[in-house]
Amino acid sequence: MEKAAQVQVRRVYDPPRPDDGMRVLVDRIWPRGLSKERAHLDEWCKEVAPSTELRKWYGHEPDKYDEFARRYRTELEDPVRATAFAHLRDEASRRRLTLLTAAKRSDISEATVLADLLAKPER
């Protein structure tokens, strides 16, 4: 039986925690005002981020989240994004994974969409 992926979502501005495991930034744009040292990243996986067009359309408006998530899941079928997502799935199968975002509300971010997808068994 396949063990469930241990994936959590946090803001990149929050201090790291001992239980973070592998810390991966999933935003396309580097977080404003944050040094690479302070971010304590293991990886920056910008290839998995939503397109600029989708990100700008969404604007983190809560009422648009469901449609954003639907469109983003479709974008994840793009070969470059699919490869990046497969890499995250592989990492999540081996250890705890913390997906980081600079969004003010991480619960309506691309990181949450990714975490939900990674929590589901592979098809």
H-only helix segments in 12-64: 36-39, 52-58
Cα 64 to Cα 17: distance, rounded to the nearest angstrom: 31
Do residues 28 and 46 make contact, with C-beta atoms less than 8 angstroms apart? yes
Q: pLDDT tens, 24-76?
A: 999 999 999 999 899 999 999 999 999 999 999 999 999 999 999 999 999 99
pLDDT class for 120, splitting at 50, 70, 90? confident
At residue 1, the pLDDT reads 39
Confidence (pTM): 0.92
Cα 97 to Cα 33: distance, rounded to the nearest angstrom: 24
Residue 101 has pLDDT above 70, yes or no: yes
Q: Kindly list the domain boundaries of the chain, sorted by start residue.
A: 7-119
Q: pLDDT tens, 66-86?
A: 999 999 999 999 999 999 999
Residue 107: its H or E element = none
